[in-house]
Amino acid sequence: MGREQRRLLIDPGRLRQAPAGLVGLTPAESRYLVKVLRYGPGSVFAISDGAGGLWQAELVEPLRAQLRQPLEAPLAWQPPPTPPLVLLAALVKRDYEVLLRMAVELGADWLLPCRAEFDAVAGQPNLERWRTIAREAAEQCERPWLPQLHESRPASDWLGGMVPLPAVGGTPQERAPGPPGADSPAALKLLATTRQSGALPLLEALEHWTASEPPASLWLACGPEGGWSGAEETLAQDQGWIAVDLGPRILRSSTAAVAGLGLLSDWRYRRWGC
């Protein structure tokens, strides 16, 4: 199957409910295929389940498509990336939706919004809108695994390793374990900061990983516009986070997260091929 075939991301639960592989499409999915791509009956496209599986499908009518492979025997299946890449990003007033989209495109596997002591954000995050943005970004860049977006929690919970991340995936055979928490000694945990004069450049911190095996998980934490508080930095240090800087300039929080994640994603790909 060539890359020119456009791809829809459909939840494993919906695919399992499809009788004889006949998949019902939502109005938005149908509109994308019929109105945007100008597909008609007989047009072939790809369906991903966001859990590593990929099938060819044929459009039968505007709201229905037929899988060309059995659900239990996809055309292709990819294991989840190892090590999983986790972005812990403090909420900011502007650009957070752009940050999420870029993080998905850059390869983040877990997106963890957090409330930091120095943030200045009022109100509750629109988690459903954020999940839609993450989903659309994953579909656009053809990621086989849908990144997981967790609900917002205090930064101290994540920095202290007090929140386990659940397993994800469509079936027990496809399920990917959640990455070890921030309290795991097997995790490589990097805390972006401009406050600590002894912080290592991020790339230098990565060079210290000389083991032939990848870390169990790879974490990057980026604070709010006001920076991490002294208590948050002390907690992170006590839990084994490595303070890193991203260069000589003062970056916006959203820019710092994207810049740091880009470096980590490139390092993971060059070292571990994912």
Residue 54 sits in a domain of what CATH number?
Answer: 2.40.240.20
> Percent of the chain at pLDDT above 90?
71
pLDDT value of position 170: 47
Please identify, among 39, 56, 77, the residue that sits at the C-terminal boundary of a domain: 77
pLDDT tier, 48 (very low <50, low <70, confident <90, very high otherwise)? very high
Do 42 and 104 lie in one domain? The reply is no
Helix (H, G, I), strand (E, B) or coil at 113: strand
User: Hey, what's the torsion of the CAs at 209, 210, 211, 216, to 10 degrees?
Assistant: 10
In a domain, 144, yes or no: yes
Please say if the pLDDT value at position 147 is more than 80: yes
With a cut of 80, say whether residue 4 has pLDDT above it.
no
Confidence of residue 58 (pLDDT cuts 50, 70, 90): very high
Residue type at 199 in one-letter notation: A
Domain stop point among 77, 102, 134: 77
Residues 223 and 115 in one domain: yes
Other Cβ atoms within 10 Å of 186 Cβ, number? 12
Given a cut of 70, whether residue 154 has pLDDT beyond it is: yes
**What is residue 2's predicted lDDT score, i.e. its pLDDT?**
44
User: How long is the chain?
Assistant: 274
pLDDT in tens, 214-257: 998 999 999 998 899 999 999 999 999 999 999 888 889 999 99
Candidates 144, 148, 141; CA nearest to 174 is: 144
- What's the pLDDT at 247? 85
Do 88 and 80 touch, CB atoms closer than 8 A?
Answer: no
Q: Given pLDDT bands bounded at 50, 70 and 90, which one contains residue 34?
A: very high
* Domain containing residue 253: CATH number: 3.40.1280.10
Residues 6+ apart with CB under 8 A from 29: 8, 10
The closest alpha carbon to 7, from 38, 56, 46, belongs to 46
Q: Which amino acid would we find at residue 69?
A: Q
Quote the pTM value.
0.89
Residue 205 is assigned to a structural domain of this protein: yes
Asked if residues 134 and 149 have their Cβ atoms less than 8 Å apart, the reply is: yes
What is the spatial distance between Cα 178 and Cα 166, in angstroms, rounded to a whole number?
Answer: 5
In this structure, the answer to whether residues 215 and 240 fall within a common structural domain is yes
Overall domain count for the chain: 2
- Quick one: 163 and 71 in the same domain? no
Q: What are phi and psi of 48, to 5 degrees?
A: -110, 145
- Structural domain ending residue among the three candidates 39, 61, 77: 77
Average pLDDT, rounded, for the chain: 88
CA distances to 60, 64, 140 from 45, in Å:
12, 12, 14
Cα torsion for 89, 263, 131, 215, to the nearest 10°? -80
Same domain, 251 and 176: yes
Instruction: Give yes or no: residues 47 and 101 share one domain.
Output: no
pLDDT value at residue 131: 94
Residue 137 shares a structural domain with residue 31: no
Residues 60 and 119 in one domain: no
In a domain, 258, yes or no: yes
How far apart are the C-alpha atoms of 50 and 17, rounded to whole Å?
A: 16
CA distance 60 to 40: 8
Q: State the average pLDDT over residues 132-154.
A: 93
Same domain (yes/no): 73, 31: yes
**Same domain flag for 262 and 229:** yes
What pLDDT score was predicted for residue 198? 75
Pairing of strands 187-192, 64-67: unpaired
Tens of pLDDT, residue by residue over 159-180, are 988 776 655 554 444 445 555 5
- How distant is the alpha carbon of residue 110 from its chain centre? 4
Confidence band of 1 (pLDDT split at 50, 70, 90): very low
Owning domain of residue 254: 85-272
Cβ–Cβ under 8 Å, residues 160 and 235? yes
Answer whether residue 2 is part of any domain.
Answer: no
pLDDT in tens, 86-134: 999 999 888 899 999 999 999 999 999 999 999 888 778 899 999 999 9
Do 73 and 111 fall into the same domain?
no
3-state secondary structure of 106: helix
Q: Which residues contact 186 (CB under 8 A, 6 or more apart)?
A: 180, 215, 216, 217
161 and 31 in a common domain: no
pLDDT at 24: 95
